């Protein structure tokens, strides 16, 4: 990064008359004294950045879904002690979000972006993306140490997050196939070495919410710290989804929960047609469906083998109660193999009873 220009300072005038230009994050930035600053210590920023430079800067490959250059403005407030802040805002014109709904964005579509960073030790940063996403996060150097996020306009509070990465809120729709493809393209790495996973924490426990696995970490201290190498833990707490779909099949309104620590995670889904959990421990997946109603999936195009193979990994599947509307069909379990090179699906170790 290069910076050039005049930086002036006087005891009674502060930085009055300063003008700097530089380069950062693939774009340009200029700094000047903020108009109306009584102390003269507050600076205004204007510039342009390339969003493709953010992912490598923060070592977060998941952020590669954003591409394009956009203008920004900001303020660096250095005057009043206790109120020293860095603000940045943009309309993100020119930026594309290659993401499923409701986070997809075209270059010509404006979307407000606001970032506030207190100038203090281990600052808790506030980031808002319109009404789609609100986040509070802490960095350790250029590495994400803690993050709490909320979707759908709900408030977010990092102090209420008992894991490293947390997510809560409401989504109008969620397509499992699209998000599986998104994860595979931008975050899928070997084993459990993903440096950032989406996860969640509500401001309080909702009625009927499930307990976290005993392996999850205990409550954190009241202070927010930026441990440079925190253990990976994450939580989604009662994410409400208006319409959950897999391929073209509709599961209706659903609630999703997820907890994870290191090599163990467990997710739960509850809707009118399906209720169950998916557990991954030491790389092994097990799907336990307490209730599956194949008569409530609604209309839609036929699901192809390629769609299943692209969305569903190999796993152990146990269905305790299989129904078609009011008709009880039985229960069964099997080992599902979706990774064979011949393009077929294999079920082995089949046990149970159907009638």
Residue 234: how many other CB atoms lie within 10 Å? 24
CA distance 157 to 115: 15
Report mean pLDDT in 10-residue bins for the chain, 355 residues: 63 62 77 69 84 79 87 83 83 94 92 90 88 87 82 84 86 83 68 36 35 36 41 77 79 86 85 89 90 74 73 90 90 92 90 90
Instruction: Please give the backbone phi and psi of residue 98, each rounded to the nearest 5 degrees, phi first.
Output: -85, 80
Strand partners, 114: 89, 128
Cβ(274)–Cβ(267) below 8 Å: no
pLDDT value at residue 109? 94
Task: Identify any residues that bridge with 271 across adjacent strands, giving them in sequence order.
Answer: 254
What's the pLDDT score for residue 299? 59
Judge residue 277's burial from the number of C-beta atoms within 10 Å of its C-beta, 0-12 exposed, 13-18 middle, 19 or more buried.
Answer: middle
pLDDT for 36 equals 67
pLDDT for the residue 3: 65
- At residue 45, the pLDDT reads 85
Q: Which pLDDT does position 301 carry in this prediction?
A: 66
Q: What is the pLDDT of residue 223?
A: 39
Residue 204: the pLDDT is 35
- CA 101 to chain CA centroid, nearest Å: 13
Per-residue model confidence (pLDDT) at position 95? 95
Q: Work out the burial of residue 199: count CB atoms within 10 Å of its CB; fewer than 13 is exposed, 13-18 middle, 19 or more buried.
A: buried
């Amino acid at each position: 990064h290069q910076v050039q220009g005049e930086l002036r300072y006087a005891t009674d005038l502060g930085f009055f008359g300063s003008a700097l230009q530089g380069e950062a994050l693939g774009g340009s930035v200029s700094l000047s004294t903020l108009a109306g600053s009584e102390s003269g210590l507050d600076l205004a920023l204007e510039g342009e950045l390339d969003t493709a430079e953010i992912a490598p800067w923060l070592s977060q490959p998941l952020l590669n879904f954003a591409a394009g250059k956009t203008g920004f403005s900001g303020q660096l407030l250095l005057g009043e002690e206790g109120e020293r802040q860095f603000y940045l805002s943009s309309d993100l014109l020119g930026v594309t979000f290659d993401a499923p709904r409701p986070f997809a964005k075209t270059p010509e579509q404006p979307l407000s972006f606001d970032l506030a960073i207190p100038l203090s030790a281990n600052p808790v940063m506030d980031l808002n993306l319109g009404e789609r996403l609100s986040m509070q996060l802490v960095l350790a150097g250029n590495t994400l140490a803690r993050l709490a996020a909320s979707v759908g306009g709900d408030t977010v509070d990092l102090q209420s997050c008992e894991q490293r990465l947390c997510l809560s809120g409401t989504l109008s729709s969620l397509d499992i196939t699209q998000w599986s493809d998104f994860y595979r393209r931008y975050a899928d790495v070997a084993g459990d070495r993903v440096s950032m996973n989406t996860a969640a924490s509500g401001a309080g426990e909702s009625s009927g919410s499930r307990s976290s696995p005993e392996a999850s970490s205990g409550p954190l201290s009241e202070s927010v710290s930026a441990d440079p190498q925190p253990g990976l833990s994450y939580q989604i707490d009662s994410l409400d989804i208006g319409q959950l779909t897999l391929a073209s099949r509709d599961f209706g309104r659903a609630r999703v929960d997820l907890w994870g620590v290191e090599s163990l995670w467990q997710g739960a889904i509850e809707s009118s047609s399906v209720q169950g959990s998916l557990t991954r421990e030491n790389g092994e997946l097990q799907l336990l469906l307490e209730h599956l109603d194949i008569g409530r999936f609604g209309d839609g195009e036929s699901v192809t083998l390629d769609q299943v193979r692209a969305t569903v990994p190999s796993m152990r599947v146990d269905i305790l109660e299989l129904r078609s509307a009011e008709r009880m069909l039985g229960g069964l379990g099997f080992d599902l193999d979706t990774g064979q090179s011949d393009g077929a699906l294999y079920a082995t170790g089949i046990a149970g009873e159907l009638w």
